[in-house]
């Protein structure tokens, strides 16, 4: 039985109209998120991962950014054409996002409890504090919104939540701030959680704790997760399906099992083989690398955007851009000369 489709992104194009030219940050991206599924979006910095997530949340700054084409269907309703009043009702309630930098995403002049309680007051109608009890900690903590905020801090594993809810962001460690961001995103029990580089700035131990927390919350609430990262180890731990992005386009889109067992796109192959492995026979052997740099968005190559860095490129790659095709094993691939055996054509 096929799972229910929660989010269906079709042919999404988000461009930025800058003084130096047009930047196609997201160029014809399509993917589907099913109920209870984790979708991993991976790629190097600048490939369009974060802009894709901001497009879903309708947080693209206008100008210079604009969604120029495509659909973002949430339960069949197109978020692109939806009035902003309705989008605000969905954003933060049905679809929530953990942003990259908790220190810059949290407001430094408000207690973390204020910031969690705000979404509960706006989206769930829970009573918060009024100006009459602004300076009273006891009255503030006794409001429904603040009680729920305290419960959320406890849920995400912050010790002594009754005291921590009164902390300002600068009084917390990086791991705790990230947990506050997760608590804020989870406060209204969203159907979709977008985690944009949620564990990048954390040490390995805290990173493992955050990932375990996200898996536990997914099991508990049955939510779907869009996990945006360049860390393939995180994706291997969390994702059911993976979309690999390069220069604003999806180049390979399939199950996590297929990606890690049998990568077909040269870019995916390069990403996977540039990671050190504990079972490598020759410990002193140099790791394969992807030659060159990500192209400037103002001057993208003709043909396949990856061909200047690709070990498998042919003349056709330099002249004609490949479409995203469905292969015989069900994966979607954007490549004229996919890998059919380890490292070869």
Quote the tokens at residue 249: 């386009």
Instruction: Express each pLDDT in 73-88 by its tens digit.
Output: 999 899 999 999 999 9
What lies within 8 Å, CB to CB, of 155 at 6+ separation is 183, 186, 217
What is the per-residue pLDDT for 128? 66
Instruction: Express each pLDDT in 124-172 by its tens digit.
Output: 777 765 444 545 555 566 688 888 889 888 888 888 988 898 889 999 8
pTM score, two decimals?
0.87
Q: At what angle do helices 112-124 and 174-186 cross, to 10 degrees?
A: 10
Cβ–Cβ under 8 Å, residues 248 and 48: yes
Residue with tokens 């002594």: 160
What is the per-residue pLDDT for 343? 47
Distance CA 262, CA 290 (A): 18
Distance CA 215, CA 225 (A): 9
Cβ–Cβ under 8 Å, residues 337 and 268: no
- Which parts of the chain have pLDDT scores under 70? 1-2, 128-142, 200-202, 277-285, 341-345
Distance CA 301, CA 303 (A): 6
């Amino acid at each position: 039985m096929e799972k229910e489709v929660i989010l269906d992104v079709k042919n999404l194009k988000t461009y930025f109209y800058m003084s130096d030219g047009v930047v196609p940050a997201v160029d014809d991206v399509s993917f589907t998120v099913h109920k209870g599924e984790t979708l991993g979006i991976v790629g190097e910095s600048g490939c369009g991962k974060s802009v894709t997530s901001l497009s879903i949340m309708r947080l693209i700054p206008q100008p210079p950014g604009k969604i120029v084409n495509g659909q973002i269907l949430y339960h069949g309703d197109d978020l692109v054409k939806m009035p902003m009043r309705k989008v605000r009702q969905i954003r933060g309630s049905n679809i929530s996002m953990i942003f990259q930098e908790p220190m810059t995403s949290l407001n430094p002049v408000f207690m973390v409890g204020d910031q969690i309680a705000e979404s509960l007051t706006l989206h769930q109608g829970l009573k918060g504090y009024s100006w009459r009890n602004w300076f009273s900690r006891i009255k503030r903590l006794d409001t429904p919104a603040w009680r729920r905020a305290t419960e959320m801090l406890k849920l995400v594993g912050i010790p002594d939540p009754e005291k921590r809810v009164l902390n300002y962001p600068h009084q917390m460690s990086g791991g705790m701030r990230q947990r506050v961001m997760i608590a804020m995103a989870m406060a209204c029990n969203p159907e979709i959680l977008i985690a944009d580089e949620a564990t990048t700035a954390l040490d390995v131990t805290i990173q493992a704790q955050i990932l375990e927390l996200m898996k536990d919350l997914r099991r508990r609430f049955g939510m779907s997760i869009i996990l945006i990262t360049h860390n393939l180890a995180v994706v291997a731990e969390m994702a059911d399906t993976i979309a690999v992005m390069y220069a604003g386009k999806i180049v390979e889109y399939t199950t996590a099992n297929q990606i890690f067992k049998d990568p077909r796109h040269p870019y995916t192959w390069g990403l996977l083989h540039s990671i050190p492995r504990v079972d490598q026979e020759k410990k002193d052997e140099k790791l394969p690398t992807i030659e060159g740099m990500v192209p400037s968005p103002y001057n993208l190559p003709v043909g396949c955007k990856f061909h200047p860095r690709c070990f498998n490129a042919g003349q056709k790659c330099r002249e004609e851009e490949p479409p995203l095709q469905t292969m015989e094993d069900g994966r979607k691939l954007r490549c004229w000369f996919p890998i059919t055996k380890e490292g070869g054509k």
